[in-house]
Chain A
Amino acid sequence: MSELIDTLKVQIIEQLNLQHLKPEDIGDDQPLFVEGLGLDSIDALELIVLLQQKYGIKLANPQDGPLVFKTVKSIADYITEHKK
């Protein structure tokens, strides 16, 4: 899990072009949206693309998005649960 979280942080920085951040700047449980990293709805789309491209996972129910993308750890949990 820890390895997946570290990989995810690098991938998120690259996919969202968060050049001002380093992986260690993102806490495992830090909220990604609004008050956390300040991500927005376009970033949510980018994260959906990341999940599909890198892990072959489609978000089955878009309404799950806010929970799945809440933190890096919640994304890692979702990947672990759904990875084929």
Chain B
Amino acid sequence: MTLYINGIGCISPQHTFDNSVFLPEVKEYATNRLACVDADYAKFFDAGSLRRMGRLMKYGTAAGMIALRDAGIDVPGAITTGTALGLPEVSQKFLRSLIEVEETIVSPTTFIQSTHNTVSSNIALLCKCFSHNNTFSHKGFSFESALTDAQLLTLENTDNILVGAYDEVSDYKYAAMKKTNELRQEPCSNLDIYGAQNKGILAGEGAAFFVLSKEKNENSYGSFIGNKTFYKPENKGEIRNHILSFLQENHSSMEEIDVIITGISGAKEVDETRIELNKNLFTTQTILAYKHLCGEYMTSSAFAFWLASKILKSQQIPDAVILENRNRSPKNILLYNSHKHNHSLMLFKAC
């Protein structure tokens, strides 16, 4: 089922919240923890609401509001989101205070914001959307599940669906990643992560939202054709088969694909398979990478969705994301992302 991307909103560790520009400059980090660049949240929320909102609550909700404004939609037909970890910073604050006061009485604000669906419900309250509101928490398949939900809703005659994903690096999560040696050793630069000998990932975060509609309009970025997920493939051959069958199911082929957005993370130990695919399967396509911009997190495919949308509309590819340039006009884009054992594919076409 083809859906048109009629509005986008993204807040990430780069300057992405302004839809009138496309990665005007790349923000360099000298650390293995990439944090969101904040928008002017006073433009989205009154002072009373703003003072209560946690960091993710602010940037997640604002990203959704940016997408709605971009699409010129006041009330979406439905809201469906994905988040792997919910709002851990606020949740942990709530749990800590619960321990400190020996399970007596705790702040209602942190309690209210400690559920995974806080952002999608906050957007619903702000835009008075009383329709379908769902949040999927399936690790690396969270955003993909929300997209599938949107496609199914369309079959039920719902239109102008706000789909998005959001996650954050909490202090606790960051400390856990450090302990398990998942992270790149500091000092490091996010602009130099794809070298052959690099080990470890950059911890990332972000929120990206999209208005998906049945009809295209003058603001359409492109079309979202479909997505597919697969778990723990046994070998490279299985990945290759998934990619080729996905394209076939969507009436496309590898020859038609102009651009591959690959979820290469910069960590040698996890990128090996994808580097081999780049060499053997994606031989004629321009190959892009994005995790040096937003870091690695379980819903980073939403950032890649934003990247695909901007490329399709502008028909330009920023140098900062090009791994291998085959000088093809970006009309058909395949996204292949993976986070640990969760692999996903998405297909996009220009309008």
List the interface of chain A (C-beta within 8 A of B). Answer: 15-20, 38, 40, 42, 45-46, 48-49, 52-53
Contacts and interface: CB of A to CB of B under 8 A. Distances in A.
12 contacts: A17-B52, A17-B109, A18-B51, A19-B51, A42-B52, A42-B108, A42-B109, A42-B112, A46-B107, A48-B105, A52-B105, A53-B105
Nearest to A41: B108
B39 interface: no
B157 interface: no
Contacts of B48: 38, 40
A49 B112 contact: no
Contacts of A15: 107
Nearest to B111: A45
Interface in B104-127: 104-109, 112
Contact of B109 (A18, A46, A52): A46
A45 B47 contact: no
Contacts of B107: 15, 46, 49
A65 B101 CA distance: 23
A49 B108 contact: yes
A15 B51 CA distance: 11
A58 to B, nearest CB: 9
B108 A17 contact: no
B105 A17 contact: no
Place the interface of chain B in its size category.
10 to 19
B97 to A, nearest CB: 9
A16 B109 CA distance: 9
Contacts of A46: 107-109
B105 A20 contact: no
B47 A20 contact: yes
A42 B52 CA distance: 10
A6 B108 CA distance: 24
B108 A45 contact: yes
Nearest to A37: B48
Contacts of A53: 101, 105
A17 B112 CA distance: 15
A48 B106 CA distance: 10
Contacts of B106: 49
A18 B47 CA distance: 9
A15 B105 CA distance: 14
A45 B107 CA distance: 8
Contacts of B52: 17, 42
Interface in B4-56: 47-48, 51-52
5 cross-chain pairs, A with B, having the tightest CB-CB distances, nearest first? A17-B51, A45-B108, A52-B105, A49-B105, A49-B107
Given A38-B48, A46-B108, 13 more contacts: A16-B51, A17-B109, A19-B51, A20-B51, A40-B48, A42-B108, A42-B109, A42-B112, A46-B107, A49-B106, A49-B107, A49-B108, A53-B105
A38 B50 CA distance: 13
B342 to A, nearest CB: 36
A2 B284 CA distance: 77
A15 B107 CA distance: 8
Contacts of A49: 105-108
A46 to B, nearest CB: 6
A16 B105 CA distance: 16
A70 to B, nearest CB: 19
